[in-house]
Structure 1
Amino acid sequence: VVNFLLIFCLQGQYKSTLTCPTCNKTSVTFDPFMYLSLPVPSMAKRTMTVTVFSTDGSREPFSYDVSVPKFGTLSDLVQALSAACSLGGDESLLITEVYNNCIIRYLEEPSDSVSLLRDGDKLAAYRLPKQYEKSSLVVFTHKHFAEHSGVDNFVTPQMKEFEAPLLASLPEAVNGLTLQEIYLKLLNPFRFSKIISSSTDCGRGDSDCAVYSMDAAGDCAVNLMDTTPSSSDGNVHSAQLEDGPERNQCNDNSCEVMEGPSETYCGEADVSDKEAQTEQFGFYLTNERDDVQRTKIEMNDLDLLEAKPNRLHVSVNWQHSASKQYDVSMLNNLPEIHKLEVIPKGTEDSVALHVCLEAFLKEEPLGPEDMWYCPCCKKHQQAMKKLDLWRLPEVLVIHLKRFSYTQFTRNKLETFVDFPISDLDLSSYITTENEQPYNHYRLYAISSHYGNMGGGHYTASIYQEGKGWHKFDDECVTPISEDNIKTAAAYVLFYRRE
């Protein structure tokens, strides 16, 4: 009899609906519950800074500030960052943690908490075409010469590590020349000298010419093979060659003709320029931490992916001349993750009980480990699941899920949940068409938890008809006003039907 009365008073019923995403087949089941265990959405936000790099040399890196839930997941971070950087539908983001010039962690588990990332960490994200998501990757770490003042202010070049690695997808077969071509392409956004195509006659048939917008020192190096004056807009000026090939340097649209070989790049000359670039870099096979004796990569090296590594790690040494041709500041200054936002007093994190209930009842996909076997498709599908309240008990127990668990962290959510006391109306959440009792509830007890995951203390507040509310704290029992029973420590709520 006691068990029957307990079940009658406390047991409610869910309606659970599964829908196949492929054929729309639905499956409806009914399950009992003794209490509602509701998630507590956190309204607190964390601002995080991530620098996004291209993997094809098509754009310069850019740092984005994005806001994610304070106790959100990496999936929230990817979603916010994808919107901020206008990620294409055919692209994906690979987010990494960078330390000491190396990628020390690939953030690939969507369910991991962002609380794993500390304020001083540095993040780099790489835009990858989705078609290459499963391809092998090459990770370039690199060092360059920087000016160093020594004794008596004597300036000497010193090798210095770049802070940000560069990353790209690899073809199935890779040799030394392929790696150099990939690396030079990745460096395109950082070059001071960028090539401008020109269809000027170079005296080599219909071959195209290449005109440099700037030389390594930042000056304009213009091809003077064509002596025909340009249009009067002042963008490019040409000079007559009287005593042989000369070089024209332009600053602020004014040109000074200098003696010396002309900067001509036509046909074979482009190849020579590329060869000159590659001689400025030394490539070495290394490991992910760049802490082993390295093996130099030669141009004629055969397939470097014979062992089929998932990621090929290459360290690149820059010659002193190369350091002057690239804007290395972009590679040297990864910003740290921002601090948590300061919440002004009086605007603490809070959420209504109805928001918690709606988060519990919303439709969502099953996890990859909980695939549903569709009888129509004859295979397991990641179905959409929707919960509804079918019947409610006389005594409704609501558990607020204040404790979050991940593989590495345990957190308690201190969110203030604003719950009704005298009239909790759940009529709009009941989906049954059968005649139902009056679904309005009044609060009569609260169990509160103070502390954290490492330890804490429970108290109870109970309402007694005619005597009001009392707080039970171990052996101490004290009256408490109804205005003071709502706190951020509320953990389990007890309602009875009115």
Structure 2
Amino acid sequence: MCLVSIVNFLLFTNLQGQYKSTLTCPTCSTTSVTFDPFMYLSLPVPSTARRAMTVTVFSTDGSRGPFSYDVSVPQFGTLSDLVQALSAACTLGDDETLLITEVYNNHIIRYLEEPSDSVSLLRDGDKLAAYRLPKHYEKSPLVVFTHNFFIEHSGADSVTPQRKEFEAPLLASISETIDGLTLQSIYLKLLNPFQFSKSTSSLTDGERCSGDCAVDPMDATPSYQDESVPLEDNPERSHCNTNGCEVMDGPTKSYCGLTAVSDKEEDMELFEFYLTNERNDIQHARIEMNDLKLIETTPNRFHVSVHWYHSASRQYNTSVLNNLPEIHKLELIPKESEDCVALQGCLEAFLKEEPLGPEDMWYCPCCKKHQQAMKKLDLWRLPEVLVIHLKRFSYTQFTRNKLETFVDFPISDLDLSSYIATKNEQPNGHYHLYAVSNHYGNMGGGHYTASINQEGKGWFKFDDECVTPISEDIIKTPAAYVLFYRRE
């Protein structure tokens, strides 16, 4: 036997282990078992670091007012994690689903519909709006309303009216054929939660004001049907805000943001509707209410720009429409409960049963077609020298992350006996640590060191050409990347 063959034989004997891989068809329960060799265990590193995110949820049927929820998701979690947390926070019904969108410059710029996308794609300063929709809304087109109102702009020589857009669009599902009157009815229904109550009707024209307002908006209560919206907590409602005093019909009028709710027939003159595209470019002239067939085959998303008259602006509390909160900053869990996971937790995450990805479908010989089978890994045989790689680096199509999670690994006795699928003719499953490879830095660059236990002499740190003795109690760090164990 040649020297190379001997070396390879010794390496394989000492370093090579074996998996048992079981695939199970979710339809007929047919199983397929294979055995695969491994030279090292590459274990995922579960992270307990969390990210606090704020999302404002809107109804799409006018049944409740918007409300902003603070939810906590894994630091490198997915949109599926965000939807799950937000659904629980807003008590989403079984017949409802959430459509989360990213809002920028008063428009929806992205629909967050891919569950596997990472939340790390969302920046701290982004603004999110979620809409409660019927469970199977995908079968119906959506109408997206952007809206604007007049504000007073003081120049050097004159006062001129300018239009300003409300920050938060409104959204609803619609039928495939829609007319002008139906479009207005849908929009008015969406505005129901923002409408001031009838108590504001006691305000007379004499109580309206220009310039500095003397009327206390706390005397008027918006008719939110969702009692969870604490309007009195908003400091903007303790004085006349931008949406009140500055809204105007033309250059000569300015009122407080409160007045009587108009009769239904007067609603016809509150708004102007225009068909637009996604960039809010107006496509044609104003939509008239007597348009019997505004559009016969509605596209998947139908965009409308609504121009508010001042009379409309005085009837609705628009502070939520004008002030979407930003996503909160990244927050790690408090230091007293550090982001820490045991090595056994990494191993269990690696061995747990999970479905194959859509791109890795398995051909079931019984069903005669590709199926998204369940996959289960088991440790079948362990090597004399066990190398464990901690997967601290994660890659997606758009992101690259490094996990700084502290992994608590045994030094003197790693017991894997309970994880071995077969007990027949197996050596003992106890190992002790003799070396650690550490990585310091991030995805852009870093530095490697090694900690090695020399029999009878203790632990040493190898950092380039510098070798120094170290104590055993500083071996464990968040930089640990590759662990080397020898069977006892």
Give the structure 2 partner of residue 199 of structure 1: none
Give the structure 2 partner of residue 210 of structure 1: none
Kept in 1: contact 2:50–2:333 (CA 8 A): no
Q: CA 1:445–1:107 in 2, change beyond 3 Å: closer, same or farther?
A: same
Give the structure 1 partner of residue 442 of structure 2: 452
Q: Which structure has greater helix proportion?
A: 2
* Other structure's SS at 1:434 match: coil
Please tell me the residue identity of whatever aligns with 1:36.
L
Q: Are 1:330 and 2:320 counterparts?
A: yes
| Cα distance in 1 between the residues matched to 2:33 and 2:160 | 76
Q: Which structure has greater strand proportion?
A: 1
| Cα distance in 2 between the residues matched to 1:114 and 1:422 | 39
The Cα offsets for residues 328-370 of structure 1, whole Å up to 9 and x where unpaired, read as 1221221111122265445432211111111111122222222
Q: Are 1:161 and 2:165 counterparts?
A: yes
Give me the CA root mean square deviation: 2.5
Q: Which has the larger radius of gyration?
A: 1
Please tell me the residue identity of whatever aligns with 2:193.
P
Q: Are 1:489 and 2:479 counterparts?
A: yes
Q: Are 1:190 and 2:198 counterparts?
A: no
| Cα distance in 2 between the residues matched to 1:88 and 1:28 | 41
Q: Are 1:468 and 2:434 counterparts?
A: no
Where do residues 12-51 of structure 1 align in structure 2 (5 Å cutoff)?
A: 12-51=17-56
C-alpha displacement of 1:279: 2.3
Q: CA 1:13–1:161 in 2, change beyond 3 Å: closer, same or farther?
A: same
Give the structure 1 partner of residue 185 of structure 2: 181
| Equivalent residue for 2:364, pick from 362, 374, 379 | 374
Q: Are 1:109 and 2:99 counterparts?
A: no
Give the structure 2 partner of residue 257 of structure 1: none
Kept in 2: contact 1:450–1:456 (CA 8 A): yes
Please tell me the residue identity of whatever aligns with 1:188.
N
Where do residues 196-215 of structure 1 align in structure 2 (5 Å cutoff)?
A: 214=199
Point out the more displaced range, 349-358 or 293-302: 293-302
Kept in 2: contact 1:365–1:385 (CA 8 A): yes
The Cα offsets for residues 263-299 of structure 1, whole Å up to 9 and x where unpaired, read as xxxxxxxxx9544313211111112232456642223
* Other structure's SS at 2:344 match: helix
Unaligned 5+ residue runs, structure 1? 194-212, 220-271
Please tell me the residue identity of whatever aligns with 2:278.
E
| Cα distance in 2 between the residues matched to 1:395 and 1:106 | 49
Where do residues 87-486 of structure 1 align in structure 2 (5 Å cutoff)?
A: 87-146=92-151, 148=152, 150=154, 159-193=163-197, 214=199, 273-291=263-281, 295-301=285-291, 303-305=293-295, 308-341=298-331, 343-486=333-476
| Cα distance in 2 between the residues matched to 1:98 and 1:137 | 16
| Cα distance in 2 between the residues matched to 1:309 and 1:29 | 49
Residue correspondences, number:
426
Please tell me the residue identity of whatever aligns with 2:167.
E
TM-score, length of structure 1 as denominator length: 0.80
C-alpha displacement of 1:383: 2.2
C-alpha displacement of 1:50: 0.5
C-alpha displacement of 1:103: 0.7
Give the structure 2 partner of residue 244 of structure 1: none
Divergent runs of 4+, >6 A: 154-157
Please tell me the residue identity of whatever aligns with 2:173.
S
Kept in 2: contact 1:39–1:400 (CA 8 A): yes
Give the structure 2 partner of residue 245 of structure 1: none
Give the structure 1 partner of residue 238 of structure 2: none
The Cα offsets for residues 43-99 of structure 1, whole Å up to 9 and x where unpaired, read as 111111111111121211111111111121111111111111111222221111111
Kept in 2: contact 1:192–1:216 (CA 8 A): no
Please tell me the residue identity of whatever aligns with 2:72.
S
| Cα distance in 2 between the residues matched to 1:397 and 1:295 | 70
C-alpha displacement of 1:436: 1.6
C-alpha displacement of 1:158: 5.1
The Cα offsets for residues 347-404 of structure 1, whole Å up to 9 and x where unpaired, read as 4322111111111111222222222233333333222222221111111111111111
| Cα distance in 1 between the residues matched to 2:92 and 2:35 | 41
Please tell me the residue identity of whatever aligns with 2:180.
G
Unaligned 5+ residue runs, structure 2? 1-5, 205-261
Kept in 1: contact 2:137–2:173 (CA 8 A): yes
Kept in 1: contact 2:274–2:282 (CA 8 A): no
Please tell me the residue identity of whatever aligns with 2:92.
L
